[in-house]
Structure 1
Amino acid sequence: MKNVLVSGAHGLIGYGIIRSIRMSETPYKVIGITIFEDSVAPGFCDLVLKAPLSRSEGYIDWLLSTIRDHRVDIVFPGFEDDVTIWNENIQALRDTGVAVVMNKSELIPLCNDKWDFYEVLRNHNFPKAIPTFLSADFAWLEDNLGLPLLLKPRVGGASRGIVLVKDEETFNLHKDRIGPELMVQPYIGNDEEEYTTAAFGDGNGGYTAIMTMKRKLSKQGFTEKATVVESPLIEETVSALCDIFKPIGPTNFQFRQDDGEFKLLEINPRISSASSIRSAFGYNEPEMALEYYLDNKLPEQPTIRKGRAVRYVEDFIFKE
């Protein structure tokens, strides 16, 4: 039996990965790591270990020792910071002999900085990119983009830190941060027309499996409600993006529809927080990743079941 380690086992991405692994017909020993002593992780894992903070001194040494001590075969980053930190230490991880579920190394820092990412799209004349600027000239922005505007953090995710600008007064409160921290975009579409697509990149400019859902976000920025959809237009756009960035393994693409076009919001080069929902409809990214990173077997397109999903708070009872 293979030993699988998942970080962030207390969180939505982490236990989504774990629950998806449990759907596989192949049994695995799942080791969850978390910074919390009283999380839900023991309800899903065979073994739970308390980890130091991901950005603390000694974290990587602790992780490497844990991998060796528990003879871990494969590791999944289930926490956003771990994607970056593991990628920065990827060779040390691989030197233990463990398989690491990690996308193309160059793509991870590129997607972390949305301005750098936009510049690549612009250099490739990618037509579905949202126009993005570092200008702090409100009059020019209003004349060329209209109102409202969005001020988006260059680094970050889950819609955290986004400022909706409807007037110059609000703009001026944040204008000094434009460039170093924030970038400017027009407000496009609406919250009812957001889509999340998972594709399994082959590393050569294509993908071998794909699934799209129309979604509604929670206040925390995660998918709260989702409906399975098919969209040839989105699939064509994902093909074009894969040709540019050549992702490897699980990759998440987020879109917003505007005037009949699907505009790219961002790419997350990892398993997304909606992985457990996708698995329930037949698109099991963690299982695909196990087969690819352990056995070098690219997935085939699975049959996707139709339906919708709603997330809600649930109790998990640990009896003494």
Structure 2
Amino acid sequence: MYEKDSCINLRVRFPLRRCIIQSLLKSDLALKLVACDINPRTLGLHLAHRGYIVPPVHQEEQYLKQLSNIIEKENINAIFVASSKEISFFSNHKAQIEENTGARVFVNPPGVLEICCDKWHTVNFLKEQGFYFPRTLRYPEDWEQIDAFIEAVHFPIIVKPRRGAGSQDLYTVNSLNELNSLITGKKDIVLQQYLPGDLGEFTTGICTGAKGNVLSGITLKRYLQDGMTIAADFDDFTEITNYCKEVARVLKPYGPCNFQSRLLEGKPYIFEINPRFSSSTGMRSLLGVNEAEILLRSEILGQKILEPPILKCSVIRQYTDYLVSTEQIMKLKKENFCINHSEEN
């Protein structure tokens, strides 16, 4: 499947995840990248070798039909999902796509998504499996337990939605009056024990194969702005990485999975698991852990993955502006397809 023209053809759904394409472009493998999006001004369409405009994912029948046509036309071997809005679609249709097209879909199964995409389910998974977890209540379901909860964990308390990522609608409250004012009339909220950040916050990327075997792991101490990692340090965080590997072996994700943690009494407490490629994928690639390439080598080429040397460095994120041909954007709008100059290089 991957031997034709000595290339592996990839499809990357690309809203804000140029880090996946850029990681693959840095690979030593001979790759042809095919990106799809609904918007012709999405950068990934112009960084990849070929770009396609597709229907929005909620139009499932049309989306799946066009996706299948692209896979067949481009002889695609592997599919990376970079949009959180599409993870459920690909998870639910993974078996169908792989059986009908032969393309491998790097996405987590529905059971893993159910655990990771709901913070209440995440906490209960950690608790049931004997891992460290922040004490957590649901609101409004567990409101009668609030007095005992506050007495046990004390203020401040974290308030956030059960579903969602980043810092959107995340609050740190310091009093009962502030808490009442914030959550009155709301639902699907969790109240969570505050984990001190004086020792930093850590993001651990664990990449796993189809049989649940851990292919790579790296922990970065991250620095946040508006919920996004703007800088990160790599150092000897082996204990945190090994701990997250143990969690992953029980969780059994497939492909990329990111564990967010802080230290409490010297132990890593995971407070969020993101079952997807993250914004720090590019940072890890720069340091020597190219998760997208690792998946190709292991799951498509059948290669044994050796532990890569990791640079003991810091990474600083800075947004970059790109020049794109207006003519090419118009071509995408008109024809829903473009071939980029990068394919000729």
**Counterpart residue type for residue 165 of structure 1:** V
8 Å Cα contact 2:209/2:295 also seen in 1: no
Give the one of 48, 53, 56 matched to 1:53: 56
Distance 1:18 1:36, change over 3 A: same
Question: Is 2:125 aligned against 1:120?
Answer: yes
Which residue of 1 is the match for residue 160 of structure 2? 152
Question: Is 2:179 aligned against 1:174?
Answer: no
Question: Is 2:276 aligned against 1:270?
Answer: yes
Cα RMSD of the aligned pairs, angstroms, is: 2.1
Q: Secondary structure at the match of 2:39?
A: coil
Q: Secondary structure at the match of 2:124?
A: helix
Q: Secondary structure at the match of 2:51?
A: strand
Distance 1:60 1:192, change over 3 A: farther
Distance 1:39 1:311, change over 3 A: same
8 Å Cα contact 2:216/2:291 also seen in 1: no
Which residue of 1 is the match for residue 73 of structure 2? 69
Which residue of 2 is the match for residue 218 of structure 1? 225
TM-score of the superposed pair, with normalisation by structure 2: 0.84
Looking at both structures, which has the greater relative contact order when contacts are Cα pairs under 8 Å and sequence separation is at least 6? 2
Question: Is 2:124 aligned against 1:100?
Answer: no
Q: Secondary structure at the match of 1:161?
A: coil
How far did 1:259 drift? 3.4
**Counterpart residue type for residue 233 of structure 1:** E
Q: Secondary structure at the match of 2:101?
A: coil
Question: Is 2:170 aligned against 1:165?
Answer: no
Question: Is 2:134 aligned against 1:130?
Answer: yes
Unaligned runs of 5+ residues in structure 1 are none
Give the one of 254, 262, 266 matched to 1:248: 254
Unaligned runs of 5+ residues in structure 2 are 1-6, 327-345
Distance (whole Å) between structure 2 residues aligned to residue 120 and residue 133 of structure 1? 14
Which residue of 2 is the match for residue 235 of structure 1? 241
How far did 1:192 drift? 6.3
Distance (whole Å) between structure 2 residues aligned to residue 124 and residue 2 of structure 1? 38
Distance 1:208 1:76, change over 3 A: closer
Distance (whole Å) between structure 2 residues aligned to residue 151 and residue 97 of structure 1? 44
Distance (whole Å) between structure 2 residues aligned to residue 89 and residue 205 of structure 1? 20
Runs of 4+ in 1 over 6 A off after TM superposition: none
TM-score of the superposed pair, with normalisation by structure 1: 0.90
Which residue of 1 is the match for residue 334 of structure 2? none
Distance (whole Å) between structure 2 residues aligned to residue 39 and residue 225 of structure 1? 24
8 Å Cα contact 1:104/1:203 also seen in 2: no
Comparing 70-79 with 138-147, which one deviates more in the overlay? 138-147
Q: Secondary structure at the match of 1:262?
A: strand
Distance 1:75 1:189, change over 3 A: same
Report how many residues are paired.
313
Q: Secondary structure at the match of 2:136?
A: coil
Which residue of 2 is the match for residue 23 of structure 1? 26
How far did 1:240 drift? 2.5
